């Protein structure tokens, strides 16, 4: 058993990140400490965070406050913002991981800012050029990990291979799939189908030693044919937003078709069931920044305190399963099969 | 008014194309002649087609038989198949358009074969390198034309611009949208977002004179924000199959959730309503091969006689509205705004 399993996870929480910051992140942090899940380092603007902390009974809970100044906004170009705001919450929080004060950092703030801070301070895993984001997106396949979902819009085939390794290790250690089946999202399952990028990537996957099942198509995302689905961030982001949009669209259609035909409370409970079944993006609390050399978890901006607590649980699993060490090992092994 | 509106459309029908060939195409052809919609040229293997024709009352209906030998199968590489089977039904049928015996050709057979025959015999519109396929795919936006859906997997930005012109003319003349809004499928609505291809294409669209509304995202396909959506065939095909798959997946979910909770006949009628609302791909009977210099209509392989008749109606609209002439005019005008 990994040693850390009996130790309290040390987690840095970006109190300035998310739509309901700092109140919701602070509440979640205190709750995580209270439930014995973690020792928390709450990072944020002093006056704002102290005011929130005053609302809770801290006593001798393992809750620390670490001051920062300012935050990276969603609409800021991340790299520039990091240079202009060296004391921003996400930088201070990520630095706690770098200097080993914390085992992991969690933010519900700017995705770009969180990723950029992780790259700058923790670095990328050797063999990975740029990090990716990923996770499940289709309700009918909640254990399917799709990456990249929007960070890398122009990918070389070898980058896709790297994502395949990261997704594969994640699926094994965090989702619990024994020998994850890897599929490359393309336009036909036959060998040799695809665009230039996917055809070249397919060749790399074939000789990678990974459990590559070949090309999969758009409809295969719904049945969960592959445990790990690889695509570039352009395609992944279109797919992510289309799935979200279609889910909402179907719900509206259904609601209109059934209105007045079944009792309102039945309709409401049906819609709630459908929402629960299909809202897999938030269910895990967030996802790791794939490919950086440390545990950095990104969540949705509108996350509730409960969602952030689940993110703490995810961070704990990443640490307990030695996710980053395994990713380093596997990437190094698989990337050695690539010639260029 | 176009002259042809008072004339009978002359249409070549590939009797060998589709899952239920030749019986269904022959039935549809005879029906189209009977209803006064068209003068039909049924193209196919002599013995097979004559046997089908014998089942119908032809009398003095405007029905002609044109013999061919063999057909292009779905799994054949189209270009090679055309060379190996110069008398295949789709080649003979498309040639009737080339030599002006027919105004349009319709096939429910191999999409690749139909496109390749159109390119070889009718040529592409000047300024268009390779043809595209397109049409509506999302039930909540039945008047939205998306292209390319799978013919061009690696596209130069100027090709996307060409698709924009073709889609725009189609939307105006065939769908009836006055000043079609054009959107480029990408990963963010902000200017400057996208991959290299879409960023360059966006620049071309901006100075094209087309009604370009900028980038749209995956979820915008559901609300029909743009009347014409442009993407390369790789992304388009992933999107097309994902929409189909999610529709089926959602129907299954719903059926399971409602089973036993509402009477079976209500459930069945609800599922039928949902299917009808979302099955927009087949509703039009098929779509034209976008970008070739003549009217060639492709339909689904499992098309019914009714669907094929709708395809005849679509062919008539293409001819009556002078679709091809307009496309030639607009492409020539817009492509002159491109430097390279």
- Report CA dihedral (A109, A111, A113, A118) to the nearest 10 degrees: 110
- Contact between B131 and B151 (Cβ < 8 Å): yes
Question: Residues A138-185: pLDDT tens digits?
Answer: 999 999 999 999 999 999 999 999 999 999 999 999 999 999 999 999
- Among A234, A247, A267, most B C-beta atoms within 10 A, so best to mutate, is A234
Question: What's the CATH code, domain B132-282?
Answer: 3.40.718.10
Distance from CA of B201 to the nearest CA of A (A): 15
- Contact between B90 and B280 (Cβ < 8 Å): no
Please state whether B176 falls in left (phi above 0), alpha (psi between -120 and 50) or beta: left
Residue B239 pLDDT more than 90?
yes
Query: Which tokens in the block code for residue A155?
Result: 């990918």
- Contact between B11 and B64 (Cβ < 8 Å): no
Residues of B in contact with A76 (CB under 8 A): none
Q: Are strands A295-298 and B63-68 parallel, antiparallel or unpaired?
A: unpaired
* Average pLDDT of chain A to the nearest whole number: 93
**Confidence bin at A2 (pLDDT 50/70/90):** very low
Residue A3: what pLDDT? Answer: 46
The Cα B69–Cα B138 span in angstroms is 38
Looking at residue B313, the DSSP 8-state letter turns out to be: H
Residue B30 pLDDT more than 80?
yes
Residues of A in contact with B266 (CB under 8 A): 261
B245 Cβ under 8 Å from any chain A Cβ: yes
Q: Tell me how crowded residue A187 is: count the other CB atoms within 10 A of its CB.
A: 23
CB nearest B194 (choices: A153, A186, A254): A153
Residue B289 pLDDT more than 70?
yes
Chain A's closest residue to B218, CA to CA, is A242
A80 Cβ under 8 Å from any chain B Cβ: no
Residue B3: what pLDDT? Answer: 46
Burial of A34 (0-12, 13-18, 19+ CB in 10 A): middle
Residue A116's φ and ψ, nearest 5 degrees, are -65, -40
The Cα B26–Cα B11 span in angstroms is 13
Distance from CA of B268 to the nearest CA of A (A): 13
B249 Cβ under 8 Å from any chain A Cβ: yes
Domain segments of chain B as ranges: 1-131+289-321, 132-282
Question: What's the CATH code, domain A138-281?
Answer: 3.40.718.10
Distance from CA of A257 to the nearest CA of B (A): 7
Residue B188: what pLDDT? Answer: 86
- What value, to the nearest 5°, has the Cα angle with vertex B20 and ends B15 and B22? 30
Residue A4: what pLDDT? Answer: 45
Question: With an 8 Å Cβ cutoff, are B242 and A219 in contact?
Answer: yes
Judge whether A1-131+289-330 and A138-281 match in fold.
Answer: yes
Residue B102's φ and ψ, nearest 5 degrees, are -120, 155
Q: How far is CA A266 from CA A136, B253, B261, in A?
A: 28, 16, 9
Question: With an 8 Å Cβ cutoff, are B243 and A218 in contact?
Answer: yes
Residue A20 pLDDT more than 70?
yes
Residues of A in contact with B150 (CB under 8 A): 187
- Contact between A146 and A137 (Cβ < 8 Å): yes
Residues of A in contact with B195 (CB under 8 A): 153-154, 232, 234
Question: With an 8 Å Cβ cutoff, are A277 and B195 in contact?
Answer: no
Between helix A89-98 and helix A111-122 the angle, nearest 10°, is 40
Q: Provide the 3-class DSSP secondary structure of residue B49.
A: helix
- A 204-233 residues with CB < 8 A to B: 217-223, 231-233
Question: With an 8 Å Cβ cutoff, are A187 and B219 in contact?
Answer: no
Question: What's the CATH code, domain B1-131+289-321?
Answer: 3.40.718.10
HSE of A45 in the Cβ direction (CA atoms, 13 Å)? 13
Q: How far is CA A123 from CA A149, A163, A296, A297, in A?
A: 20, 16, 11, 15
Residue B340 pLDDT more than 80?
no
Residue B280: what pLDDT? Answer: 80
A234 Cβ under 8 Å from any chain B Cβ: yes
Query: Which tokens in the block code for residue A266?
Result: 């039945």
Which strand (E) or helix (H) includes residue B312?
helix B305-320
Residue B1 pLDDT more than 50?
no
A1-131+289-330 CATH fold:
Isopropylmalate Dehydrogenase (3.40.718)
Residue B2: what pLDDT? Answer: 44
- A 112-141 residues with CB < 8 A to B: 138-140
- Contact between B148 and B141 (Cβ < 8 Å): no
Q: How far is CA B169 from CA B176, B211, B224, B309, in A?
A: 10, 11, 18, 23
Residues of B in contact with A231 (CB under 8 A): 238
The Cα A15–Cα A36 span in angstroms is 19
Question: Residues A28-71: pLDDT tens digits?
Answer: 999 999 999 999 999 999 999 999 999 999 999 999 999 999 99
Residues of A in contact with B153 (CB under 8 A): 187, 194-196
Query: Which tokens in the block code for residue A105?
Result: 């950092």
């Amino acid at each position: 058993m990994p040693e850390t399993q009996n130790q309290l996870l040390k987690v840095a929480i970006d109190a300035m990140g998310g739509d309901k910051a700092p109140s919701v992140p602070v509440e979640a942090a205190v709750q995580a400490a209270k439930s014995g899940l973690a020792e928390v380092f709450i990072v944020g603007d002093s006056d704002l965070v102290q005011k929130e902390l005053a609302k809770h009974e801290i006593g001798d809970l393992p809750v620390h406050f670490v001051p920062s100044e300012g935050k990276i906004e969603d609409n800021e170009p991340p790299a520039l913002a990091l240079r202009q705001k060296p004391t921003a919450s996400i930088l201070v929080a990520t630095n706690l991981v770098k200097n080993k004060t914390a085992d992991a950092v969690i933010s519900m703030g700017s995705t770009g800012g969180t990723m950029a801070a992780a790259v700058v301070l923790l670095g990328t895993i050797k063999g990975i050029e740029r990090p990716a984001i990923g996770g499940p997106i289709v309700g009918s396949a909640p254990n399917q990990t799709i990456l990249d979902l929007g960070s890398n819009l122009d990918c070389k085939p070898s980058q896709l291979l790297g994502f395949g390794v990261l997704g594969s290790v994640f699926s094994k250690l965090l989702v619990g799939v024994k020998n994850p089946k890897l599929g490359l999202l393309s336009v036909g399952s036959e060998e040799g189908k695809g665009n230039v990028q996917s055809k070249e990537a397919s060749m790399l996957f074939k000789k990678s030693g990974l459990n590559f099942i070949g090309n999969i198509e758009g409809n295969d995302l719904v049945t969960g044919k592959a445990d790990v689905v690889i695509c570039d961030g352009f395609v992944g982001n279109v797919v992510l937003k289309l799935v979200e949009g279609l889910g909402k669209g179907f719900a509206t259609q259904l609601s209109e078709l059934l209105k007045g035909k079944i009792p309102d409370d039945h309709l409401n409970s049906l819609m709630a069931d459908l929402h629960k079944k299909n809202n897999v993006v938030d269910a895990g609390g967030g996802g790791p920044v794939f490919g950086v050399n440390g545990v950095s978890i990104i969540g949705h901006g509108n996350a509730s305190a409960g969602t952030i607590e689940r993110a703490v649980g995810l961070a704990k699993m990443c640490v307990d399963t030695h996710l980053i060490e395994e990713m380093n090992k596997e990437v190094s092994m698989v990337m050695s099969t690539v010639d260029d």
